[in-house]
Chains A and B, each alone.
Chain A
């Protein structure tokens, strides 16, 4: 009998191996069909008509000219919409024979607006108003008293702007009615749940909606639901009887496809004369556009600081609504906390690493952070390179080191799969999950092959549609736990049924058998074995199909999955104090995430997170013009992403082995993207001797900070 517990390290044949990404060749050759790439016979192209105003009443929509254009097949107007609240809000849409005609027709739709005064500023408390709702307040101990008594009192302002998801594949979908069934190929990170509640909105029975996403080009938290464009696409398909492709153009993707809320404010830190943190306060404002705003966890990671006073206030702005962005609120809170802490340590003239180490007892996982920080220090050569605030060497090029630590939950989501063993020894797995580029398509077969003692190429993994057993959306680092536990449970059940059938023929009890290295073998006497294919041949015309179910509580109790990880990062930067340009020399990341199914893909996640974090530190900001309410950089030229020459040397180390493996599988998508911003910020401060208070650390901000600090070259 096989048990569901993960095999011991010495018995693992597939788990923990560095397999190449299963869909790597399809992606590298352009044969992978993303949702944007789905072309259906007779398909129409849809374009949306959007508001150029940040706040306005709609007084009329005239579609005559658009409808009259040759090649236009349908026009849709949001007749319920009376007021637009941000630039880019969808008012109407057209479907036409070609993309070019659709674009032209959308420009011909005349919408009459009565413009009203808007508000897009997100960093000034004076814009907090009744619409902001009640502030988030949290008090622990007595901050005022502790701060007053502190040996070191630091006060500073810090800020993180709104950034966008900037998914390379924009939001959107292809829709098609086939009889009374609605087929949708959306760019989504949630195939099972994507269309929930869409049916009622478009007049299709919910059980006749088929969702399929084999490949999707980035979501980062912004692609869970069908959205307004999903309703429009389905409606246009119903109206025309044709397939309709509706993908957002890049400017709209930047304005309405999702963004990460901002946070700006004053932070105070009190230390005793040994560098122990005694008091922390933060008074923060921020925006999620017309969407909500969540304060997050302040102070970040150092949650056991004895005296805390936090106030968070939302500013409602006429900007597109925020969406979950990798590790929601964590990168901002990490930055707002750990920059101020580092500044307090600098005020005490205390080494930053010593300061972090000294205060790790104020975190939930002291030993893990200690091991990870020391590993980082070793990887980057911290003790040799570290210096006090302000690189004292001559010349305009100043070099510095900085660090930050983070945390995340990452427990697996509810997930199910069906596993079928065929009589020829092949295995088929069906699961309503998706692969965002995180490696689901690779890791699930690893778990199946491990459990059944077979090779990877004997496993056929079918996924990416809601026709398969339900699985969760890929958000919050929940996928790997959910899919690996479901796969393990289902495969174990299938194996045990095969063992039940085989055991009498081997003259053994089922509990004397296990699967390994391509055979069902007697435990303790592996030479007495029946090859996998021979065992499966006993099924004759039958198959074995078992449902694997990950109930997160049960899976955690069984030791398959877990939650709560740490993670430490250090950055080595250079700052040219004549030009203000920040250059990343090196970044190191040390990350734990329990039992790792595929080390190669796990490392890729962390490398990617470092790069995404570098991008946010150096370049990213959704720039809005207060007067016109327009997003000024709704493109990819002025909304810059880091290029290959911007990222410096990157090193990643995954914590594995004793103390980590036995925790079970934990998700990895979020944690490593949290610390880079704070680590780079601290490295910049260490290099130039003054704090650049607001991200991103662009030349103008660096020069301003140098000027203010009297350190300009």
Chain B
């Protein structure tokens, strides 16, 4: 006998995206509460959507004009609209760092930033750091010290490490361990990574 009848939609779990469905907020002044009650003051409060809105993103020095829903994350805009797939979607909840890009030079989890929040800011993805024939110091050191296996976490690590060594040239091993604590690898490439980032840091950053 059934214990109870239940009508359910989807696997359980709190969805931050669902929370912001259809509308988006820009600007530091806008609170989530404001966002949930769009009203006549919406425009003043910085509310855009629902539905697609024009968005201009500056990525790796190039300007891209897109139409997308405000709920689209920066990560999904990069991957799904611009075919910039260096940033990976792994945890999708700001834990693993595989989606790390630089926003105005600072490392950011692109899974947890809306694309509209990146407007007017300069976004750099791993593709903007170097190419196979012209790698930056961190990328070259990752290859030299074999700091990668499957490589799925690598772009996020390379990007985070690039920002780290720029800020912390000559970082010690302990500082590197602390500085790269925001990224995770499953294959277990940390041994090579410590050598790689240490090497790149000694060369004065990327």
> Out of A20, A436, A608, A644, which one reaches B181, CB within 8 Å?
A644
> Out of B6, B80, B149, which one reaches A437, CB within 8 Å?
B149
Residue B204 lies at the interface, judged by CB distance under 8 Å to chain A: no
Residue A207 lies at the interface, judged by CB distance under 8 Å to chain B: no
> Out of B88, B135, B143, which one reaches A217, CB within 8 Å?
B88
How far is it, in angstroms, between the C-alpha of A216 and the C-alpha of B149 when the chains are bound? Answer: 10
Q: Are A104 and B142 in contact (CB under 8 A)?
A: no
Chain B residues near A600 (CB, 8 Å)?
146
Chain B residues near A115 (CB, 8 Å)?
2-6
How far is it, in angstroms, between the C-alpha of A612 and the C-alpha of B185 when the chains are bound? Answer: 9
CB distance from B61 to the nearest CB of A (A): 16
How far is it, in angstroms, between the C-alpha of A215 and the C-alpha of B133 when the chains are bound? Answer: 19
Residue A31 lies at the interface, judged by CB distance under 8 Å to chain B: yes
Residue B83 lies at the interface, judged by CB distance under 8 Å to chain A: yes
**Which B117-134 residues sit within 8 Å CB-CB of chain A?**
125-127, 129-133
**Which A420-468 residues sit within 8 Å CB-CB of chain B?**
436-438
Q: Are A644 and B194 in contact (CB under 8 A)?
A: yes
- Assess A107 versus B9: contact at CB under 8 Å? Given A607-B191, A641-B184: yes
Q: Are A168 and B85 in contact (CB under 8 A)?
A: no
Q: Are B125 and A636 in contact (CB under 8 A)?
A: no
Residue B172 lies at the interface, judged by CB distance under 8 Å to chain A: no
Closest B residue by C-beta to A245: B80
Residue B90 lies at the interface, judged by CB distance under 8 Å to chain A: yes
Closest A residue by C-beta to B69: A100
Q: Are B2 and A109 in contact (CB under 8 A)?
A: no
Chain B residues near A250 (CB, 8 Å)?
90-93
Residue B13 lies at the interface, judged by CB distance under 8 Å to chain A: yes
CB distance from A324 to the nearest CB of B (A): 16
Interface string of B1-19 (1 = CB under 8 A from A): 0111111111111000110
Residue B43 lies at the interface, judged by CB distance under 8 Å to chain A: no
> Out of B83, B150, B184, B190, which one reaches A39, CB within 8 Å?
B83
- Assess A30 versus B85: contact at CB under 8 Å? Given A24-B142, A611-B188: yes
Chain B residues near A652 (CB, 8 Å)?
191
Interface string of B159-202 (1 = CB under 8 A from A): 00000000000000000111011011111111111100000000
Residue A381 lies at the interface, judged by CB distance under 8 Å to chain B: no
How far is it, in angstroms, between the C-alpha of A601 and the C-alpha of B143 when the chains are bound? Answer: 11
A-B interface contact total, Cβ < 8 Å: 248
Residue A3 lies at the interface, judged by CB distance under 8 Å to chain B: no
Residue B148 lies at the interface, judged by CB distance under 8 Å to chain A: yes
Chain B residues near A607 (CB, 8 Å)?
188-192
Interface string of A247-283 (1 = CB under 8 A from B): 1011110010000000000000000000000000000
Q: Are B154 and A28 in contact (CB under 8 A)?
A: yes
Chain B residues near A45 (CB, 8 Å)?
80
Chain A residues near B74 (CB, 8 Å)?
none
Q: Are B135 and A25 in contact (CB under 8 A)?
A: yes
Residue A8 lies at the interface, judged by CB distance under 8 Å to chain B: no
**Which B71-130 residues sit within 8 Å CB-CB of chain A?**
71-72, 76, 79-80, 83, 85-93, 95-96, 98, 125-127, 129-130
Interface string of A93-106 (1 = CB under 8 A from B): 00000111001101
Closest B residue by C-beta to A256: B11
Closest A residue by C-beta to B190: A644
Q: Are B69 and A643 in contact (CB under 8 A)?
A: no
Q: Are A100 and B96 in contact (CB under 8 A)?
A: no
Chain A residues near B12 (CB, 8 Å)?
52, 87, 630
Residue A203 lies at the interface, judged by CB distance under 8 Å to chain B: no
Closest B residue by C-beta to A612: B188
Q: Are B95 and A637 in contact (CB under 8 A)?
A: yes
Q: Are A29 and B135 in contact (CB under 8 A)?
A: yes
How far is it, in angstroms, between the C-alpha of A115 and the C-alpha of B4 when the chains are bound? Answer: 6
> Out of A23, A116, A251, A610, which one reaches B188, CB within 8 Å?
A610
How far is it, in angstroms, between the C-alpha of A56 and the C-alpha of B1 when the chains are bound? Answer: 10
Closest A residue by C-beta to B131: A29
Chain B residues near A56 (CB, 8 Å)?
2, 6
Q: Are A26 and B85 in contact (CB under 8 A)?
A: no
How far is it, in angstroms, between the C-alpha of A167 and the C-alpha of B187 when the chains are bound? Answer: 9
Q: Are A29 and B132 in contact (CB under 8 A)?
A: yes
Chain A residues near B87 (CB, 8 Å)?
30
Residue A479 lies at the interface, judged by CB distance under 8 Å to chain B: no
Closest B residue by C-beta to A27: B151
Residue A394 lies at the interface, judged by CB distance under 8 Å to chain B: no
Q: Are B98 and A168 in contact (CB under 8 A)?
A: yes
Residue A505 lies at the interface, judged by CB distance under 8 Å to chain B: no
Chain B residues near A50 (CB, 8 Å)?
10-11
Q: Are B135 and A57 in contact (CB under 8 A)?
A: no
Q: Are A34 and B152 in contact (CB under 8 A)?
A: yes
How far is it, in angstroms, between the C-alpha of A252 and the C-alpha of B92 when the chains are bound? Answer: 12
Chain B residues near A641 (CB, 8 Å)?
96, 184-186
Interface string of B58-74 (1 = CB under 8 A from A): 00000000000101100
- Assess A36 versus B149: contact at CB under 8 Å? Given A26-B132, A29-B131, A168-B186: no
> Out of B92, B93, B139, B146, which one reaches A604, CB within 8 Å?
B146
Chain B residues near A57 (CB, 8 Å)?
2
How far is it, in angstroms, between the C-alpha of A113 and the C-alpha of B186 when the chains are bound? Answer: 36
How far is it, in angstroms, between the C-alpha of A98 and the C-alpha of B95 when the chains are bound? Answer: 24
Chain A residues near B2 (CB, 8 Å)?
56-57, 114-116
How far is it, in angstroms, between the C-alpha of A252 and the C-alpha of B176 when the chains are bound? Answer: 32
CB distance from A444 to the nearest CB of B (A): 17
CB distance from B206 to the nearest CB of A (A): 12
Closest B residue by C-beta to A32: B151
Residue A33 lies at the interface, judged by CB distance under 8 Å to chain B: yes
Chain B residues near A36 (CB, 8 Å)?
85, 88-89
How far is it, in angstroms, between the C-alpha of A177 and the C-alpha of B129 when the chains are bound? Answer: 36
Closest B residue by C-beta to A167: B186
Q: Are B95 and A168 in contact (CB under 8 A)?
A: no
CB distance from B17 to the nearest CB of A (A): 7
Q: Are B9 and A108 in contact (CB under 8 A)?
A: yes
How far is it, in angstroms, between the C-alpha of A27 and the C-alpha of B194 when the chains are bound? Answer: 18
Residue A88 lies at the interface, judged by CB distance under 8 Å to chain B: yes
CB distance from B139 to the nearest CB of A (A): 4
> Out of A52, A116, A609, A647, which one reaches B8, CB within 8 Å?
A52
Closest B residue by C-beta to A638: B95
Q: Are B5 and A112 in contact (CB under 8 A)?
A: yes
Q: Are B177 and A645 in contact (CB under 8 A)?
A: yes
How far is it, in angstroms, between the C-alpha of A110 and the C-alpha of B5 when the chains are bound? Answer: 13
Residue B35 lies at the interface, judged by CB distance under 8 Å to chain A: no
Chain B residues near A642 (CB, 8 Å)?
188, 190
Q: Are A644 and B193 in contact (CB under 8 A)?
A: yes
Query: Can you list 21 A-B contacts (CB < 8 A)?
Result: A24-B148, A30-B126, A100-B76, A107-B10, A111-B8, A112-B6, A114-B5, A168-B90, A168-B184, A169-B88, A215-B150, A217-B150, A217-B151, A218-B152, A250-B93, A607-B189, A608-B188, A611-B188, A630-B12, A634-B13, A641-B186
Give me the interface of A with B, judged by CB distance under 8 Å.
20-21, 23-34, 36-37, 39, 45, 49-53, 56-57, 87-88, 98-100, 103-104, 106-117, 166-170, 215-218, 220, 247, 249-252, 255, 436-438, 600-601, 603-605, 607-612, 615, 630, 634-637, 641-645, 647, 650, 652
Apart from the given pairs A27-B151, A29-B86, A608-B188, 16 other A-B contacts in the complex at a CB distance below 8 Å: A24-B142, A28-B154, A29-B139, A30-B125, A109-B9, A115-B4, A217-B88, A218-B150, A218-B152, A249-B92, A436-B149, A437-B187, A607-B191, A612-B188, A636-B184, A650-B191
Give me the interface of B with A, judged by CB distance under 8 Å.
2-13, 17-18, 21, 69, 71-72, 76, 79-80, 83, 85-93, 95-96, 98, 125-127, 129-133, 135, 139-140, 142-144, 146, 148-155, 158, 176-178, 180-181, 183-194
Closest 6 CB pairs of A and B: A30-B86, A611-B188, A217-B152, A27-B151, A608-B188, A437-B149
